[in-house]
Amino acid sequence: MKYKVAFLLIISAICLIPLVFMVAGSVKPPLENLLIPPTLITANPTLENYQSLLKYPIGLWLLNTMIVSGGFTVLNVLFILLFAFGVVFRIGPRGRLLTLCCVAAGFLNPSLLLIPRYLLIRSMGLFNTRLGMILPFVPIVIMGAPAVLYMRTIPRYLLDAAEIDGAGPLKQFFSVIMPSVRPLAAYLGIQSVMRVYDMFLWQVLIAPAHKVKTLPVGMGIVVSGNLEERIMSFPNFSLNMASAFVTFLPMLAIFLLFRRYFKTEAFHQGVMR
Amino acid sequence: MRSTRTRLTGWLLVAPFCLCTLLFYVYPALRGLSLSFADGWIGEFKPSLAAWGRVFSPNFWKSVLASGRFSLYMLPFTGIAVAVVVGMQHLPKGFCTGVQTALYLPTLAAGVSMSLVWKTLFHPSKGLLNLILGTETLWLADPAIAPISITVVQAIPTLGPLIYLMSTFTAQIPDTLYEQARLDGCGFWRSVFRITLPILTPVILFAVASALMTGSTMFAPVMLLTGGGPAHATSSLTWLIYETAFIGGDLPRAAGTSIIHTIATLPIMVMLYRSIWREI
């Protein structure tokens, strides 16, 4: 018992230390980074680094991030749920084969799709647009599988009852299916939001213009790559820590708001047995 | 009457998903294949086999090696996740939630935030890591150590979701099973190996497969910390493809490399999602 608790505390501490240094480093005066040996925690905390970040269009980058992740999440969740609804309740036996074919597309390595998608999005005229950052990943095909499995657990008579009452397919979807698949929708939503932060490579490639950059790309490439921010040829660590923290905040906010839905990893179960 | 109309609306319902799959997955895959059998610069590709001759360059093999290293170094983190989940069993629920949350926070900072923070910590003379450990290690400039550093940056954020996932499995084991085992004279380790691990086997396989995948698809930390160096030691296959295509401008060769990459990772993908065939 004692050992277990000690082990868990040590692992948690190791994982949290980078985050602690992120916060502690972001309030360190930039020149203090040049001291040898460096200080762990500064004695003179300052907000100077956050003020230097203000000369970059952070508000715009945050807005772009919200548009890209919001748009992606809504489209992805909607398409997957509509698909699962159609396959399970409408198409009949052929739905199984269709699901397998679609999900098999998820076996393709993302690196294979990178270059052709880049050419495709360019030829669609979506280079340097937010839509170009959203579209090519809709839908996350592999998630079709847990969605279909979950949809099968919804009793058919609910839909039959709605149909007798004269509800059309869309009405059935929004007033019968949606309320009963809320945990699934939450899982798909959380997974989608988390993915957008992962799509760093794509966002770097497809949106080089400052005005459409997302927060991670802006912070990772523009701010930390800006040679003018260097102090005597050393990177400005304090500024980097401040930009890391600002990039982290939106995700933290989502986590705190929707914390209970983050535990719905259980939906992987159907895909794993 | 019901069936024809129902089916028609059914196809309309699945249309957005299927059309997007065709446009953004199937078509790009075929285009990638055709691109690798072409040669030239963007906008003027001609059919040719020349690109395949350039695919298997020394740098390709260095990337294969680097990807293998990353995958190998990812594996201990799966072990850590298992250890944490086993350790959390039979502990008070509040404490477990605390640990789970603490381990999930790095996941929220994955990618850019984590890379920026670690870049600072790794700095040889001004970084805090060497200060704390009292060493003078070149975390990102030593070809033997850089892959480990990059893996740590990538791996810590994978722990959180994995632990949530594994906990849902261990939560299904009734406590009476452990009590019964203890009454039968079964010690802690024995009950771990005989009860907990067998239940966790599917997740562990899943975790190992995703760890193997992560190795060759490592990107954000490579781009932000090492740029594939030193001496290609951290050049994962995804990085090589990015570098060949978008820094070197040789799209056909990059497409060829990505086809090899896909074929090589296909068995891992099948292992990851093999049960889909049975369940659906």
pLDDT digits (tens, 9 = 90+) for A228-246: 777 777 788 889 999 999 9
- Return d(Cα A244, Cα A213) in angstroms, integer: 16
Q: Do B245 and A114 touch (CB under 8 A)?
A: yes
A109-137 mean pLDDT: 91
Q: Does position A272 have pLDDT exceeding 60, yes or no?
A: no
Ramachandran angles phi, psi of B46, nearest 5°: -120, 145
Q: How many CB pairs (< 8 A) connect A and B?
A: 316
**The pLDDT value given to residue B20:** 94
CB contacts, 8 Å: A243 with chain B: 116
- What pLDDT sits at residue B151? 95
Answer for the pair B166, B82: CB distance below 8 angstroms, yes or no.
yes
Separation between Cα atoms, residue B262 and residue A116, nearest integer Å:
14
Residue B253 in contact with partner chain A when CB distance is under 8 A: no
User: Is pLDDT larger for residue B137 or for residue B150?
Assistant: B150
Lowest-pLDDT choice from A38-42, A82-86, B11-15, B202-206: A38-42
CA-nearest residue to A206 within chain B is B246
Phi, psi of B54 (to 5 degrees): -90, -15
- The pair phi, psi for residue A28, each rounded to 5°, is -85, 135
Lowest mean pLDDT, pick from A33-37, B207-211, B259-263: A33-37
Whether A136 and A121 have beta carbons less than 8 Å apart is answered as yes
CB contacts, 8 Å: A135 with chain B: 20, 24
* Alpha carbons B142 and B151: distance in angstroms, whole number: 14
Write the Ramachandran bin of A196: left for phi over 0, alpha for psi from -120 to 50, otherwise beta. alpha
Supply the DSSP symbol for A39. Answer: P
CB B71 within 8 A of CB B214: yes
Mutate to test the interface with B, among A94, A111, A257 (most CBs of B within 10 A): A111
Residue among B88, B159, B168 whose CB faces A15 most closely: B159
The confidence score (pLDDT) of residue A43 equals 82
Contact present, A88 and A152 (Cβ < 8 Å): yes
- Rounded to an integer, the average pLDDT of A34-40 is 75
- Split at pLDDT 50, 70, 90, the class of A266 is low
- A263: Cα within 13 Å, side-chain hemisphere: 11
The predicted-structure confidence for B234-259, as pLDDT tens digits, reads as follows 999 999 999 999 888 888 999 999 99
Tell me the pLDDT tens digit for each residue of B51-88. 888 889 899 999 999 999 999 999 999 999 999 999 99
Angle of helix B112-122 relative to helix A237-257, nearest 10 degrees, comes to 140
Q: Give SS3 for A238.
A: helix
For an interface test with B, the pick among A21, A229, A272 (most B C-beta atoms closer than 10 Å) comes out as A272
Nearest to B268 by CA among B199, B201, B215, B197: B215
Interchain pair A12, B238: CB under 8 A: no
Residue A11 has pLDDT above 90, yes or no: yes
Rounded mean pLDDT, B148-159: 93
Q: Hey, of A15, A141, A234, which one would you mutate to test binding to chain B, going by the most B CBs within 10 A of its CB?
A: A15
Amino acid at site B74? M
* B111 closest CB neighbour out of A145, A198, A273: A198
pLDDT value of residue A271: 57
Spell out which residues of chain B touch residue A93, defining contact as CB-CB under 8 Å.
Answer: none
Option in B17, B224, B245 nearest A144 (CB): B17
Percent of chain B predicted with pLDDT > 90: 42
- B39 sits in which H/E element: strand B38-39
Amino acid at position A143, single letter: M
pLDDT confidence band for B1 (50 / 70 / 90): very low
Confidence band, pLDDT 50/70/90 cuts, at residue B145: very high
Q: Collect all residues of chain A within an 8 Å Cβ-Cβ radius of residue B108.
A: 248, 251-252, 254-255
**What distance in Å separates the CA atoms of residue A68 and residue A247, rounded to the nearest whole number?**
15
Q: Residue B22's pLDDT band (boundaries 50, 70, 90)?
A: very high
Across B31-42, average pLDDT: 85
Listed residue (A181, A151, A178) closest to A90, CA to CA: A151
Q: What is the pLDDT of residue B17?
A: 94
What interhelical angle do B251-273 and B27-36 show, nearest 10?
Answer: 130
ipTM over 0.90: no
More confident residue, A243 or B276: A243
CA-closest candidate to residue B154, choices B232, B69, B269: B69
Query: Residue A12 and residue B103: Cβ atoms within 8 Å?
Result: yes
Look at phi and psi of residue A267 and say left if phi exceeds 0, alpha if psi is from -120 to 50, else beta.
Answer: alpha
Cα A65 to Cα A22, A72, A215: the distances in Å are 21, 10, 6
CA dihedral B124, B155, A190, B94 (to 10 degrees): -100
Q: Which of A72, A85, A109, A177 to mutate to test the interface with B (most CBs of B within 10 A)?
A: A109
How sure is the predictor about B147, in pLDDT bands with cuts at 50, 70 and 90? very high
Least confident window among A34-38, A169-173, A204-208: A34-38
**Average pLDDT, integer, range A81-87:** 93
| Residue among B113, B224, B237 minimizing CB distance to A248 | B113
Mean pLDDT value across residues B178-192? 88
pLDDT for the residue B153? 93
Q: Are B117 and A22 in contact (CB under 8 A)?
A: yes
What pLDDT sits at residue B171?
A: 86
Q: What is the pLDDT at residue A270?
A: 53
DSSP codes, A153-190 = TS-HHHHHHHHHTT--HHHHIIIIIHHHTHHHHHHHHH
- Interface contact A90-B7, CB threshold 8 A: yes
What confidence score (pLDDT) does residue A267 get? Answer: 62
CA distances from B32 to A81, B56, B219, B258 (A): 29, 17, 20, 8
For residue A22 the two structure tokens come to 């992120």
pLDDT at A269: 56
Average pLDDT estimate for A100-128:
90
